[in-house]
Amino acid sequence: MNNVAYLKPESPFFDLFHNGRCPIINIIVPNTVELEGATPAVQDVYMVDLEKVGDNKLSEIARRIAAKAGEHPMKVFREIKERGLPLRVSQTTGCETDAFPDQFVVFRPQL
């Protein structure tokens, strides 16, 4: 099954994914999480599919996050591998899945 979220063009990670299509784990119900340093702290997120993204892209994502947060990139990379990588629903324009082979399904976030 392939699930993707469409990153907004202004996303700092848009350029890492073909047409901003980021692999995610589940599109039906976003997770609600508390994000450290975010405003508001509690946000709806999709969890990025780390296996489909691969370590090379994850390393670049970790580097960009580390530069913004003032952390070491390897520390951020290890945290991503251990805890997962949330993608804020507010940073997407929608998502799609091929889980329903007879239909093309696209979801749009309610912002």
Q: What is the pLDDT of residue 103?
A: 53
10-residue mean pLDDT profile of the chain (111 residues): values are 92 95 84 74 90 96 95 97 93 83 56 46
Q: What is the pLDDT of residue 28?
A: 67
Q: According to the 3-state scheme, what is the secondary structure of the chain?
A: CCEEEEECCCCCCHHHCHHHEEEECCCCCCEEEECCCCCCCEEEEEEECHHHHCHHHHHHHHHHHHHHHCCCHHHHHHHHHHHCCEEEHHHEEEEEECCCCCCCEEECCCC
Q: What is the pLDDT of residue 23?
A: 96
Q: What is the pLDDT of residue 61?
A: 97
